[in-house]
Structure 1
Amino acid sequence: MSRIYALMGVSVIAFALLLLAMSGGGSKQSGDGLLFYCAASNRAVMDEILKQYEQETGRRVEIQYGPSQTLLSSLTVAEKGDLFLPADDSYLDLAADDGLVHEVIPIASMRAVIVVPRGNPKGIKQIGDLLDDDVRYVLADPKSAAVGKVVQRELEKTGQWKTLAENVTSFRATVTEVANDVLVGAVDAGIVYDAVLHTYPDLQAVEDPSLADTESIIAVGVLGSSKHPEDALHFARYVAAADRGLEHYQGHGFTITNGDLWAERPELTIYAGSMLRPAIEETIKNFQQREGVDVLTKYNGCGILVAEMRTGPTPDAYFACDVEFMNQVNDLFLEPVSVSQNELVILVPKGNPEKITGLRDLARNDLRVGIGHEKQCAMGWLTQNTLKESGVQSEIMGRDPVQMNTGDLLVNAMRTGALDAVVVYLSNAAGAGELFQAIRIKEIECSIAVQPWAVARESKYPLLASRLFSQICSAESQATFKKKGFRWDFTQDQAVAAGGGSADE
Structure 2
Amino acid sequence: MKPKFITVLLSSVAILAAIGLALQRPSAPSEERETILLLYGAGLRDPVRETIAAYQEEFPNVRVDVIPSGSGQLMAKVLAGEKGDLFMGADASYVNTAYEKGAIAERLDVAVQWPVISVRKDSKLTIDGLESLLGEGLRIGLGNPDGPAIGKSARQILEKAGLWDRVKVAVEKRGVFKPTVQELANDLKLGTIDAAILLDGTVAQHPELMAIAIPKEMNALLDISIGVMKTSERPTRALHFARYLTARDRGLTHFAKYGYQVIDGDAWADVPRLKLMSGGILRQAVTKTLDDFEQREGVTIDRNFNGCGILTSSLKAGGEADAYFACDVSFMSQVSDLFLDPVAVSETRMVIGVPKGNPKRITKLADLARDGLKIGVANAKQSALGALTEDLLARHGLLDAVMKNVRTQLPTADMLVTQLQGPKGSDSLLDAIVVYEVNARRAVDDVEIVPIAEAVAPAVQPIAVARQSKYPHLTRRLLDALSAEASRKRFEEQGFGWKAALTKRR
TM-score, normalised with respect to structure 2: 0.89
User: Which residue of the partner structure matches residue 17 of structure 2?
Assistant: none
User: Which residue of the partner structure matches residue 453 of structure 2?
Assistant: 442
Structure 1 residue 120 displacement after superposition = 4.7
CA–CA distance in structure 1, aligned partners of residues 271 and 459 of structure 2: 35
1:349 lines up with 2:360 in the alignment: no
Amino acid across the alignment from 1:419:
L
**Aligned positions, number:** 466
User: Which residue of the partner structure matches residue 480 of structure 2?
Assistant: 470
Amino acid across the alignment from 1:452:
P
Q: In the TM superposition, what whole-angstrom CA distance separates every residue of 1:296-317 from its partner, at most 9, and x where no partner exists?
A: 1100001111222233431011
Structure 1 residue 210 displacement after superposition = 6.4
1:418 lines up with 2:401 in the alignment: no
Structure 1 residue 119 displacement after superposition = 5.1
CA–CA distance in structure 2, aligned partners of residues 464 and 78 of structure 1: 26
1:33 lines up with 2:41 in the alignment: no
Question: Which residue among 200, 204, 229 is the counterpart of 2:206?
Answer: 200
Q: In the TM superposition, what whole-angstrom CA distance separates every residue of 1:184-213 from its partner, at most 9, and x where no partner exists?
A: 111110001111111212211111226744
> 4+ residue runs of structure 1 moved beyond 6 angstroms?
none
Q: In the TM superposition, what whole-angstrom CA distance separates every residue of 1:344-372 from its partner, at most 9, and x where no partner exists?
A: 11112333232211111111223221110
User: Which residue of the partner structure matches residue 53 of structure 1?
Assistant: 55
TM-score, normalised with respect to structure 1: 0.89
CA–CA distance in structure 2, aligned partners of residues 233 and 94 of structure 1: 19
Assess if the C-alpha contact under 8 Å between 2:78 and 2:98 holds in 1.
no
Question: Which residue among 160, 164, 175 is the counterpart of 2:163?
Answer: 160
User: Which residue of the partner structure matches residue 129 of structure 2?
Assistant: 126
User: Which residue of the partner structure matches residue 72 of structure 1?
Assistant: 75
Structure 1 residue 94 displacement after superposition = 2.0
Structure 1 residue 489 displacement after superposition = 1.9
Structure 1 residue 92 displacement after superposition = 1.0
Structure 1 residue 476 displacement after superposition = 1.3
CA–CA distance in structure 2, aligned partners of residues 359 and 176 of structure 1: 72
Q: Name which one, 1 or 2, has greater alpha-carbon Rg.
A: 2
Q: In the TM superposition, what whole-angstrom CA distance separates every residue of 1:162-198 from its partner, at most 9, and x where no partner exists?
A: 2221211110110111111111111110001111111
CA–CA distance in structure 1, aligned partners of residues 50 and 239 of structure 2: 19
Q: In the TM superposition, what whole-angstrom CA distance separates every residue of 1:83-108 from its partner, at most 9, and x where no partner exists?
A: 11011111112211332110101010
Where do 1:75-90 residues align within 5 Å?
75-77=78-80, 79-90=82-93
User: Which residue of the partner structure matches residue 240 of structure 2?
Assistant: 234
CA–CA distance in structure 2, aligned partners of residues 211 and 37 of structure 1: 32
Structure 1 residue 157 displacement after superposition = 3.4
CA–CA distance in structure 2, aligned partners of residues 414 and 155 of structure 1: 72
User: Which residue of the partner structure matches residue 278 of structure 2?
Assistant: 272
CA–CA distance in structure 2, aligned partners of residues 163 and 411 of structure 1: 76
Question: Which residue among 354, 365, 373 is the counterpart of 1:367?
Answer: 373
User: Which residue of the partner structure matches residue 479 of structure 1?
Assistant: 489
Question: Which residue among 323, 328, 336 is the counterpart of 1:322?
Answer: 328
Q: Percent identical across equivalent pairs?
A: 39
CA–CA distance in structure 2, aligned partners of residues 111 and 302 of structure 1: 46
CA–CA distance in structure 1, aligned partners of residues 354 and 137 of structure 2: 88
Q: Name which of structure 1's ranges 359-368 and 402-411 shifts more when overlaid on structure 2.
A: 359-368
Q: Secondary structure at the match of 2:204?
A: helix
1:307 lines up with 2:313 in the alignment: yes
CA–CA distance in structure 2, aligned partners of residues 212 and 296 of structure 1: 48
User: Which residue of the partner structure matches residue 6 of structure 2?
Assistant: none
Structure 1 residue 410 displacement after superposition = 0.5
Q: Name which of structure 1's ranges 361-370 and 247-256 shifts more when overlaid on structure 2.
A: 361-370
Structure 1 residue 439 displacement after superposition = 1.7
Rate the CA distance shift 1:211–1:121 in 2: closer, same or farther, 3 A: farther
CA–CA distance in structure 2, aligned partners of residues 95 and 236 of structure 1: 17
User: Which residue of the partner structure matches residue 45 of structure 2?
Assistant: 43
Amino acid across the alignment from 1:300:
N
Amino acid across the alignment from 1:285:
D
Q: In the TM superposition, what whole-angstrom CA distance separates every residue of 1:140-178 from its partner, at most 9, and x where no partner exists?
A: 002111111122234333432222212111101101111
User: Which residue of the partner structure matches residue 23 of structure 1?
Assistant: none
Structure 1 residue 133 displacement after superposition = 1.0
Amino acid across the alignment from 1:246:
L
Rate the CA distance shift 1:357–1:116 in 2: closer, same or farther, 3 A: same
Gaps (5+ residues) in structure 1?
Answer: 1-29
1:337 lines up with 2:343 in the alignment: yes
Rate the CA distance shift 1:365–1:78 in 2: closer, same or farther, 3 A: closer
Gaps (5+ residues) in structure 2?
Answer: 1-31, 423-427
Structure 1 residue 335 displacement after superposition = 2.1
User: Which residue of the partner structure matches residue 12 of structure 1?
Assistant: none
Where do 1:384-403 residues align within 5 Å?
384-403=390-409
